[in-house]
Amino acid sequence: MSLQLCFYVLAVWDVAYLCPFYGNMRGEIAITNYRLLFYSPERENSCILDVPLGVIARVEKVGGSTSRGENSYGIEITCKDMRNLRFAHKQEGHSRRIMFDTIMKFAFPLSNGLQFFAMENKQKFAEDGWKVYDPEAEFKRLVQGIENPPWKLSLLNANYDVCDTYPALLGVPRDCTDDDMRRVASFRSRGRIPAKGGGYETDEGYPFVGFHFLDIQNIHVMRESLRKLKELVYPAMPDSRWLSGLEATHWLEHIKTVLFGAVRIAEKIHVERTSVLVHCSDGWDRTAQLTSLAMLLLDPVYRTLKGFECLIEREWVSAGHKFQQRIGHGDKNYADSERSPIFLQFIDCVWQVTRQFPTAFEFNEHFLIAVLDHLYSCQFGTFLGNCERSRTLERIQEQTPSLWSLVNSRRHEFVSPLFDRRNTRVLFPVPSMRHLQLWLGYYIRWNPGVPGTVRKNSYCGRKDAVLSTCSLECD
Amino acid sequence: SQPFLLSFAVHDGKKKQLLPSSGIKYSPEVLIIHCKNFRIIKFYFENTDQNESRKVLQGLTFSVNIQLGPFSNNSGTTLFESPEDWEFEMTRAKAIGWRVTRVNEAFKISKRITVPVKTSCYLPSNSWTVVHYFAEIDCRDMCCVVASLVQVLLDAQSRTIVGFQSLIQKEWVLAGHRFLDRLNHLQLDVGEVPVFQLFLDCMWQLLQQNPETFEFGETYLTVLSDSTRIPLFGTFLFNSQYQRDTESLESKAERYIRTDYKSARLPSVWDWSLQFGPEAQWLLRNPQFVQEKPTRKNSSSPMALLQSLRKGVLGEDGDAFRKGSLRHLRTPRHSYSSEELRMVATPPGLLSPCLASPLLRLWEQCYLRWLPQIPILGGGSVVAKQRLACLRQEIEVLHARLNTLQDMATPTESSLDQHLSNRCPLELSLQPSSEYSPGTPDSLFSTFPFVPTGILSHRTVPITPLSRLLFGRSASGEALAVDDYNGRI
Domain boundaries in chain A?
Answer: 8-107+465-474, 129-134+206-444
Query: What is the model's pLDDT at position B95?
Result: 64
Question: Could you say which of A280, A310, A387, A460 is catalytic?
Answer: A280
Question: Given B324, B364, B380, which is nearest A434 (Cβ)?
Answer: B364
User: Is-cis flag, bond preceding A150, omega within 30?
Assistant: no
- How far away is chain B from the Cα of A255, in angstroms, using its nearest Cα? 17
> Using 50, 70 and 90 to split pLDDT, how confident is the model at B265?
low
Distance, in angstroms, between A359 CA and closest chain B CA? 6
User: What is the pLDDT at residue A401?
Assistant: 95
- The answer, yes or no, to whether ipTM is higher than 0.85 is no
> What pLDDT shows up at residue B49?
83
**Interface test with chain A among B313, B321, B322, B339, by most A beta carbons within 10 Å:** B322
Q: Which among A21, A356, A444 has the least Cβ separation from residue B380?
A: A356
Residue B5, H or E segment: strand B4-11
Q: Note the pLDDT of residue A157.
A: 78
For residue B354, list chain A residues with Cβ-Cβ distance below 8 A.
Answer: 449-451
Q: Residue A228 pLDDT more than 90?
A: yes
Q: How confident is the model at residue A353 (pLDDT cuts 50, 70, 90)?
A: very high
What size, in residues, is chain B? 489
- The pTM of this model reads 0.80
Q: Across residues A147-161, what is the average pLDDT?
A: 77
Average pLDDT, stretch A330-344?
95
Mean pLDDT, all residues of chain A: 84
Between B293 and B163, name the one with better pLDDT.
B163
The CA distance from A206 to B396, in Å, is 60
Choice between A441 and B11, residue whose per-residue pLDDT is larger: A441
At B293 the pLDDT is: 64
B330 interfacial to chain A (CB closer than 8 Å): yes
Q: Which residue of B has its CA nearest to A420?
A: B387
pLDDT at residue B303, as a whole number: 41
The CB-side HSE value for B368 (13 A sphere, CA atoms) comes to 16
Q: Are strands B14-17 and A23-32 parallel, antiparallel or unpaired?
A: unpaired
CB contact under 8 A, A358 and B388: no
Q: What is the pLDDT at residue B444? A: 79
How many residue contacts between A and B have a Cβ separation below 8 Å? 117
pLDDT at A441 over 60: yes
Work out whether the CA dihedral B264, B265, B268, B272 comes out positive or negative. Answer: positive
C-alpha torsion sign, points B380, B381, B385, B390 = positive
Average pLDDT of span A286-297: 94
| Min Cα separation B154/chain A (Å) | 19
> pLDDT digits over A30-48, tens only?
999 999 999 888 776 577 8
Task: Say whether pLDDT at A361 is over 60.
Answer: yes
The crossing angle, in degrees rounded to 10, of helices A286-298 and A342-356 is: 20
Residues of chain A with a CB closer than 8 angstroms to some CB in chain B: 20-23, 43-44, 46, 233, 235-240, 242-243, 246, 356-359, 417-418, 420, 422-423, 425, 427-430, 432, 434-435, 437-438, 440, 444, 447-451
- Give chain A positions within 8 Å (CB) of B322: 20-21, 23, 235-236
φ and ψ at residue A122, rounded to 5 degrees: -105, 25
Task: Please report residues of A whose CB lies closer than 8 A to that of B448.
Answer: none
CB-based contact A359 B391, cutoff 8 Å: no
Find which of A222-231, B73-82, B260-269, B385-394 is predicted with most confidence, using mean pLDDT. Answer: A222-231
* B319–A23 C-beta distance less than 8 A: yes
Confidence of residue A162 (pLDDT cuts 50, 70, 90): confident
Residue A420 to residue B441, Cβ atoms within 8 A: yes
Query: Helix/strand/coil (H, E, C) string of chain A?
Result: CCHHHCCEEEEEEEEEEEECCCEEEEEEEEEECCEEEEEEHHHCCEEEEEEEHHHEEEEEEECCCCCCCCCCCEEEEEECCCCEEEEECCCCCCHHHHHHHHHHHHHCCHHHCCCCHHHHCCCCCCCCHHHCCCHHHHHHHHHCCCCCCCEEEECCCCCCCCCCCCCCCEEEECCCCHHHHHHHHHCCHHHCCCCCCCCCCCHHHCCCCCCCCCCCCCHHHHHHHHHHHHHHHCCCCCCCCHHHHHHHHCHHHHHHHHHHHHHHHHHHHHCCCCCCCCCCCCCCCHHHHHHHHHHHHHCHHHHCHHHHHHHHHHHHHHCCCCHHHHHHCCCCCCCCCCCCCHHHHHHHHHHHHHHHCCCCCCECHHHHHHHHHHHHHCCCCCCCCCCHHHHHHCCHHHHCCCHHHHHHHCHHHHECCCCCCCCCCCCCCCCCCCCCCCCHHHHCCCCCCCCCCCCCCCCCCEHHHHHHHCECCCC
A50 labelled ligand-binding: no
Instruction: State how beta strands A151-154 and B40-44 pair.
Output: unpaired
| Lowest mean pLDDT, pick from B130-139, B199-208, B226-235 | B130-139
Task: Give the model's confidence band at B301: pLDDT under 50 very low, under 70 low, under 90 confident, else very high.
Answer: very low
Q: Which residues in chain A have their CB less than 8 angstroms from residue B334's CB? A: 22, 43, 46, 448
| 237-266 in chain B: CB under 8 A from chain A | none
Task: Give mean pLDDT, residues A389-408.
Answer: 93
Q: Is the pLDDT of residue B61 over 80?
A: no
pLDDT at site B410: 54
Q: Does B374 touch chain A (CB under 8 A)?
A: yes
- What's the average model confidence in pLDDT over A303-312? 96
Per-residue model confidence (pLDDT) at position B63 = 52
What integer pLDDT is reported at residue A300 of this predicted model?
95
Residue B445 burial (CB count, 10 A): 23
Tell me which CATH code domain A8-107+465-474 carries.
2.30.29.30
Is B372 an interface residue toward A (CB < 8 Å)? Answer: no
- Residue B37 identity: N
> Which residues in A lie closer than 8 A to residue B383 (C-beta atoms)?
357-359
Considering only CA atoms, give the Rg of chain B: 26
Which one, of A251, A249, A264, lies nearest residue A214 by Cα?
A: A264
Angle of helix A365-377 relative to helix A342-356, nearest 10 degrees, comes to 170
Q: Is the Cβ of B458 closer than 8 Å to some Cβ of chain A?
A: no
d(CA A356, CA B301): 46
What pLDDT, on the 0 to 100 scale, is given for residue A100?
94
Q: What is the mean pLDDT of chain B?
A: 67
According to the model, what pLDDT value does residue A127 have? 92
Judged by CB atoms closer than 8 Å, whether chains meet at A239 and B328 is answered as yes
Average pLDDT over residues B227-247: 83
Question: Mutate which of A232, A447, A453, A455 to disrupt the B interface (most B C-beta within 10 Å)?
Answer: A447
DSSP letter (8 states) at residue B191: S
To the nearest 10 degrees (0 to 180), the angle between helices A342-356 and A251-270 is 70
Q: Are B313 and B352 in contact (CB under 8 A)?
A: yes
Stretch among A348-357, A400-409, A449-458 having the lowest mean pLDDT: A449-458
CA distance B362 to chain A (A): 8
Whether residue A280 lies in the annotated active site: yes
